[in-house]
Chains A and B, each alone.
Chain A
């Protein structure tokens, strides 16, 4: 796992970028919409997995940073007149900075206290999106002008698809790098035993702060992605239902595993489509179905789909 990354590991990413460029030519718009959503959720879930799966920090503030990324990307363009290529990374950076700020108190909290404090933060952020209507448009939401990327307009599923695929490829590459670096190992050490980590010379607090900020940054990037294929954002997009969905994706796929998280995103992201076509009447119970899947996965598949069926056969091999 550690050691020099083989170039072959980057091939799937190249394929993703190519697919992003080619698929819009012959795939119906609706499937491109699903593809965009899945790729955005993948970025969101990968960020959550860094915090939850790798570092073992049970924090719920992720959805708030998603909102900061989305509102930030739009507002930096409409209010400050910044171009999209600047506003999206800036909004992601802003989300990361906010993550850094809440990380300092959050790094002192454990287990259920951390969960409650970050949940309160997320609720507060949603309240702010709702109440600050002169800026966010309040409950009516915010209309998005199609962002311009080097003179070309994005703004719908067809045109945003190649861009979204490119961003996901970059984020997956970054995640591969981060998790195979010493940071990845430090995160696992903290998750499994803070005492052993500290006694081995790992700065537990600093490592937590770094992962909080990184994870928030991922959510901010996902928020920016959302604004490239939606024409509208509203506070409901950043509520509890989304938290349950993200959690389900990460837990069902397999905590602390990049491949597992992607599998979880595919499985739960496609579920509503499957329900829509086969069991229409079940669709209104979607939230309940997610909750049920989450509970069942935790009871019977604690290592997730990926961990249960793919890994587990043998340990990982370290080259050299």
Chain B
């Protein structure tokens, strides 16, 4: 296995009396698809929110390419090469599809004011729009690019959330339940896209997901969380056979 790009070291998160995460460690190999699964409330989204620097762990460290993320503010996480999607799709609803993707490119076109006269004023902006068009074409959203995000159907909004994350050309992509609510045809397309991104473009992906069809199909490695603690880790076949995992899922939360 190649070197780990990203790791959590004994991370604990406490909300008042509740331990949302307890001494949680995880190593994500460069170019792999690493799934993070577990019953509802196991702490999966908490892990993402720590990486995004929305939460600060009470203990432990988070390393990306050997650097600690905990010293960075939330907006610098995108700059070091980490992008994410959200479980409850977070889009700029009134802006067009294209404008949402351009927001995802904030790190690639730095600065607020494209100064300078006429055409040259927008050289960076134009390059960004071209790149955004290409990305939208890849995800099948190009025809909808001038439509407000709120006018898209659920699947379309999910895709746009993903497009916005990909727009920053991240090296690590965090996906928070990308398949939730999608139809199986859409899940198959997502499956193919994720595999293409990881195998052909070297993107490293951490995937939080309940849809096992997707997880078992694409994951190189799976980490299982329950009540804020890691209960299993390994290749999909190993994890599926692990009695602790079976108990966590079937014993308490059969719907997953």
Q: Which residues of A contact B (CB under 8 A)?
A: 1-4, 181-183, 185-186, 188-189, 191-193, 195-204, 207, 210, 256, 314-318, 320
Contacts and interface: CB of A to CB of B under 8 A. Distances in A.
A182 B146 contact: no
Nearest to A182: B112
Contacts, number: 122
A196 B91 contact: yes
30 contacts: A4-B118, A4-B119, A182-B114, A185-B95, A185-B99, A186-B106, A188-B103, A189-B92, A189-B106, A192-B94, A193-B90, A195-B52, A198-B52, A198-B53, A200-B83, A200-B103, A201-B75, A201-B76, A201-B78, A202-B75, A202-B103, A204-B75, A210-B112, A256-B94, A314-B146, A315-B147, A315-B151, A316-B96, A318-B98, A320-B126
Given A182-B109, A201-B106, A316-B96, A196 B122 contact: no
B160 to A, nearest CB: 11
Nearest to B113: A181
B113 A183 contact: yes
A317 B75 contact: no
A201 B169 CA distance: 12
B251 interface: no
Interface residues of B, number: 49
B74 A200 contact: no
B130 to A, nearest CB: 8
A65 to B, nearest CB: 21
A105 B187 CA distance: 45
A202 B106 contact: yes
Contacts of A183: 112-113
Nearest to A191: B92
A153 B198 CA distance: 71
Nearest to B51: A199
Interface in B162-176: 164-165, 167-168
A15 to B, nearest CB: 22
B148 A192 contact: no
B67 interface: no
Contacts of A315: 96, 146-148, 151
